Amino acid sequence: MPSRARARSYDPAKTRTAVTAQLRRVREAVEGLDEKGLAAPTRLGDWTVRELIAHLAMAVSSVSRLLERPAPPAREVTATGWATATAAHSAAIDTDTRALAALAADAADAAGTAGTAGTDPGGLLEREAARFAETAAVAPGDRLLATRVGAMRLDDYLVTRCVELVVHADDLTAATGVPVPHDRQALATAARVLADALAAKAPGGSVEVRIPPFAVVQCVEGPRHTRGTPPNVVETDPLTWIRLATGRLAWAEALESARLTASGDRADLSAHLPVLG
């Protein structure tokens, strides 16, 4: 498991492939949505499906935009640090998302149809997928990007794009009733980043969090487990963990539904969740 001294590493080639694969699955899910579907509510405040899709497009298009800007002088944030810092920028993210959704809607109206390539949701995502392929595929992984939360390596930033796509694909499923499958590598990456973010937010070794088959971390101050069966164990599946870590699912609800098991006096992690706002 990751230690305090050594951050978890991610295979850059697999990460790029995972972003592309998860984005393709999102695109396929939104292609058949009509205006009623686009106007449907989501579990993200007063965002509609239209805003949610715009946010997904923005999450990917940010790679190209950041690569066009000058590189900052030094690295400031890792993928784990990104997860715990994002909430502070929620207002700006909301503003940008609404602006992009409105722009896409206006363009569709001007074209006389919501089905014109590049202005409808599927076309918007397709355009960003093409831009991603042109830029991220050729840029060096150690290229620094001036992101909202600080200077990050491109390889780290692409890891965060997996998190965005996986989390919001699940939001899209909840809003539309159309299942959006998760790419296995993207799902694994999201689960690991959020597990490491928990360990960073609540450092310690008294609780072992297991998210088979993708991650195991120790967290929470207290007696450190060294051998044998840990006295405090939390275990759940990857998607349930992602929902807990992002505030989509309450701790008590996960326990009651048996999607989560927690044993030991220190195994209640509700005070440390969510880790991603």
7: pLDDT strictly greater than 90: no
1: pLDDT strictly greater than 50: no
Convert the pLDDT of each residue in 55-79 to its tens digit. 999 999 999 999 999 999 999 999 9
Average pLDDT over residues 219-242: 86
117: pLDDT strictly greater than 80: no
The answer to whether residues 220 and 269 touch, using CB atoms and an 8 Å cutoff, is yes
Check residue 123 and give its pLDDT.
83
113: pLDDT strictly greater than 70: no
Average pLDDT over residues 118-136: 84
Q: Backbone phi, then psi, for 31, in 5-degree steps?
A: -60, -35
In this prediction the pTM is 0.91
139: pLDDT strictly greater than 90: yes
Rounded-to-integer distance, Cα 255 and Cα 221, Å: 22
Q: How far is CA 205 from CA 164, 219, 245, in A?
A: 28, 5, 19
Check residue 239 and give its pLDDT.
98
DSSP state string for 174-193: HHHS---PPPHHHHHHHHHH
Check residue 222 and give its pLDDT.
84
Rounded-to-integer distance, Cα 148 and Cα 145, Å: 9
How does the average pLDDT of the chain come out, rounded?
90
